[in-house]
Amino acid sequence: MENDTNTLRRLKTIEGHLRGVIRMVEEDAYCIDVIRQIQAVEAALNKVSSQILESHLNSCVITAIKGDDPKERERVLKEITEVFEMSTKV
């Protein structure tokens, strides 16, 4: 539960930061300043994503790998592969 609370807190902070970026665009802020702020939002989202992935690996994936169901092991490993494939497409 503490991880969920931390994740939500971080996402709400990012949401506020994104609202600031929107405001900058509405106010016709200097393009490079907007880009820097967008990069900061992206970095913060990447950090949250990494934390969620780490939690998933340490819970769901380990449980599936230690379990007796080979189909479940294949399913979670396929999910992880898909996540990594999507991260390289961006």
For the stretch 24-42, pLDDT in tens is 999 999 999 999 999 999 9
Q: Using CB atoms within 10 A of its CB, is residue 56 exposed (0-12), middle (13-18) or buried (19+)? A: middle
| pLDDT confidence of residue 89 | 81
pLDDT of residue 6 exceeding 80: yes
Give mean pLDDT, residues 42-64.
94
Cα dihedral: 49, 52, 10, 26 (round 10): 30
Q: Which domains does the chain have, with CATH numbers?
A: 2-89 (1.20.58.1000)
Rg (Cα) of the chain, in Å, rounded? 18
The C-alpha atoms of residue 90 and residue 9 are separated, in whole angstroms, by: 25
Give the phi and the psi of residue 27 in degrees, each rounded to 5. Answer: -90, 10
